[in-house]
Amino acid sequence: MIDRRTFIKAGTIGASVFSIGGLTAATATQRTNRAINKPIVISTWNFGVAANQAAWEVLDGGGSALDAVEAGVRIPEADLSNLTVGKGGYPDRDGHVTLDACIMDHQGNCGAVAALEHIAHPISVARLVMEKTPHVMLVGEGALQFALENGFERERLLTPEGEAAWKAWLKEGKYEPVINIENESYTTDKLPGNQYNHDTIGMLALDSNGHLSGACTTSGMAFKMRGRVGDSPIIGAGLYVDNEVGGATATGVGEEVIRTVGSFLVVELMRQGLSPRDACREAVERIIKKKPETAKKIQVGFLALNKGGEYGAFSLQNGFSYAVCDTNQRDLLVDGEHVY
């Protein structure tokens, strides 16, 4: 279960974290003289708390940010009570569980899989795509073939709960988002069959060598069209890392994140001197500017970490939380700021 011992409202942490992060371009150079907050790992939603613990074990032992983010996000991928990531994920509208993931390291290396079926840990397949192939992304059958050839076990991913929810959904077949479903208990009785759910774990880590990496993994929108891929496995949309600047990740309705190349945008805004929190806010505002009516009805959240170990987040709607683990706090859950 998630340890909620430390839960801080964004306003509280904002005073300390965001003022440090609130550098202008003119003052950005001062950061080089300031102690860097490392190692640190941050991740999306309340299930990020448990994921961060696994990542922290790697970081605390002097391990790499890359190993940390892979180990971290494997926790929700394996958690059957998590209906939006990995093996417990809900299926598409034809009853297939299809998983999306990507990973990126401090050297700009990256790997991704999309619409991957039958494999419980898409993040580890994504890492192998990065390390063993000349490509960045493998999808569908090809991704599955690559995983099986590399020793991953073929599994049935559709859980009895997922199947029951899908069958209930089929009765009405309405495709309407439930905002912040991860804040509900993971039980189908709280999830009417005519609704779908989503949410992703995006994780960013800075290791003791000052190297950044990120990982992002999801089952995407439940009851999505067969073949639909969201932002999460797309480098630049669901995740981006630039070791000179920082990293960012996204969660929420992926179509709007893709439209704005959200995570890349957040990193580029940090490069221009914005704090992680302000960069995330600007990216959220960009979504509102492009699709004002849509933006009122959906959730999108961004989370960012810069080279100094400063972090921040912003979302469209209330209810987006993120987890932080560093030398000062191991199980912090922050209630993110939002526009609506």
Q: What is the contact mask toward ligand ASP in residues 163 to 202, using x (rule: CB under 6 A)?
A: -----------------------------------xxx--
Six-digit token string for 296:
């009122």
Catalytic residue among 44, 188, 200, 218: 200
Find the helix or strand (DSSP H, E) in which 246 lies: strand 246-252
For ligand ASP, the binding residue among 63, 88, 220, 247 (CB under 6 A) is 220
For ligand ASP, the binding residue among 53, 180, 218, 243 (CB under 6 A) is 218
Q: How far is the CB of 182 from ligand ASP (least distance, A)?
A: 9
Six-digit token string for 10:
């964004």
| SS3 per-residue string spanning 62-93 | CCCHHHHHHHHHHHHHHCCCCCCCHHHCCCCC
CB 202 within 8 A of CB 247: no
Choice between 59 and 234, CB closer to ligand ASP: 234
Question: According to the binding rule CB under 6 A, does residue 112 interact with ligand ASP?
Answer: no
Q: How far is the CB of 254 from ligand ASP (least distance, A)?
A: 2
- Go through 301-323 and write b for each residue having 16 or more CB atoms within 10 A of its CB, e for each that does not: bbbbbbbbbbbbbbbbbebbbbb
Question: According to the binding rule CB under 6 A, does residue 256 interact with ligand ASP?
Answer: no
Region of 7-15, 34-42, 67-75, 249-257 interacting with ligand ASP (CB under 6 A): 249-257
State yes or no: is 200 an active-site residue: yes
The CA dihedral of 140, 144, 145, 146, to the nearest 10 degrees, is 100
Binding residues among 41-70 for ligand ASP as defined by CB under 6 A: none
For ligand ASP, the binding residue among 43, 124, 195, 251 (CB under 6 A) is 251
Give, rounded to a whole angstrom, the gap between the first and last alpha carbons of the chain: 29
- Contacts with ligand ASP by CB under 6 A lie at 198-200, 218, 220-221, 230-232, 251-254
